[in-house]
């Protein structure tokens, strides 16, 4: 029988054990996205970006045909990473772009978290390719979208069948914090949740305003 210890599981994300890759959050790609409301998509993209920036997670921002077709990356993302260079590609599969792979190798993390548009093309391609080369891959499902519910769901199922680990945007934020006693990031985490965490954020605002409450205290 195993002996339990108060230590986190090795498959949990921490700020230092992964890199985040945000793919093709661009106007043209979002116009045809139907599996998630555009406002919610932008909110979740902002939440993930602010969490990654706040916890100093190494992050790659990549676009496809930015100048000629797809347009700029969402400002909700670029505002979280001021001055960071966009890696623009011609390949639909991010993993086939030499400049992106050069950055993956420079960062040197064997655990990668993906989010972007569209799930069935721009996320399936790099996620399956990364797994094939020995990486662990996580996908933030509600920070992705596709041309239909069917397309998004089949893409998620296909990736899960190959070992991709799905998660959500709020889950990503809270998994990076993971302990409310971590006072150095407490205000940042709850601040992101209040601004972008939907009903959960409203609950935090209510509890703090009405009762002076704080989680973990």
pLDDT given at position 214:
63
Which residues of the chain register pLDDT less than 70? Answer: 213-217
The bridge status of strand 19-23 relative to strand 165-167 is: unpaired
Joined together, the tokens standing for residue 181 give 């006693």
pLDDT given at position 65:
78
Kindly report, as residue ranges, where domains of CATH 3.40.50.850 are found in the chain: 19-175
pLDDT given at position 212:
74
**If DSSP codes are grouped into helix, strand and coil, which group holds residue 7?**
coil
pLDDT given at position 217:
52
As assigned by CATH, the class of the 19-175 domain is alpha beta
Instruction: Match 């639909």 to its residue by tokens.
Output: 92
Give the C-alpha separation, 157 to 176, whole Å. 25
Joined together, the tokens standing for residue 27 give 């106007």
Give the C-alpha separation, 145 to 109, whole Å. 25
Q: Is the dihedral of CA 56, 62, 67, 70 positive or negative?
A: negative
pLDDT given at position 143:
98
Q: CA 28 → CA 55, 72, 74, 90, 129, distances in Å?
A: 30, 9, 11, 15, 25
Report the predicted TM-score, pTM, of the whole model to 2 decimal places: 0.94
Give the C-alpha separation, 117 to 56, whole Å. 23
pLDDT given at position 208:
83
Distance of CA 187 to the CA centre of its chain: 20
| Residues β-bridged to residue 145 | 117
pLDDT given at position 68:
72
Non-local CB neighbours of 112 within 8 Å, separated by 6+ positions: 18, 19, 20, 21, 104, 130, 135, 136, 137, 138
């Amino acid at each position: 029988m195993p002996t339990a210890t108060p230590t986190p599981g090795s498959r949990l994300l921490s700020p230092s054990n992964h890199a985040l890759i945000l793919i093709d959050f661009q106007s043209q790609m979002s116009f045809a996205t139907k599996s998630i409301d555009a406002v919610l998509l932008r909110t979740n993209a902002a939440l993930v970006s602010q969490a990654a920036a706040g916890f100093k997670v190494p992050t790659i921002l990549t676009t496809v045909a930015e100048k000629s077709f797809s347009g700029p990356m969402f400002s909700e993302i670029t505002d979280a990473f001021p001055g960071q260079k966009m890696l623009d590609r011609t390949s639909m599969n991010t993993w086939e772009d030499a400049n992106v792979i050069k950055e993956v190798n420079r960062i040197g993390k064997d655990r990668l978290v993906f989010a972007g548009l569209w799930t069935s093309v721009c996320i399936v391609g790099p996620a399956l390719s990364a797994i094939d080369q020995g990486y662990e891959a996580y996908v933030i499902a509600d920070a992705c979208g596709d041309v239909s519910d069917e397309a998004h769901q089949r893409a998620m199922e296909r990736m899960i069948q190959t070992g991709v680990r799905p998660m959500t945007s709020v889950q990503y934020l809270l998994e990076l914090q993971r302990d409310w006693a971590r006072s150095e990031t407490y205000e940042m985490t709850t601040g992101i949740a209040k601004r972008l965490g939907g009903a959960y954020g409203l609950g935090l605002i209510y509890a703090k305003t009405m009762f002076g409450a704080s989680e973990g205290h």
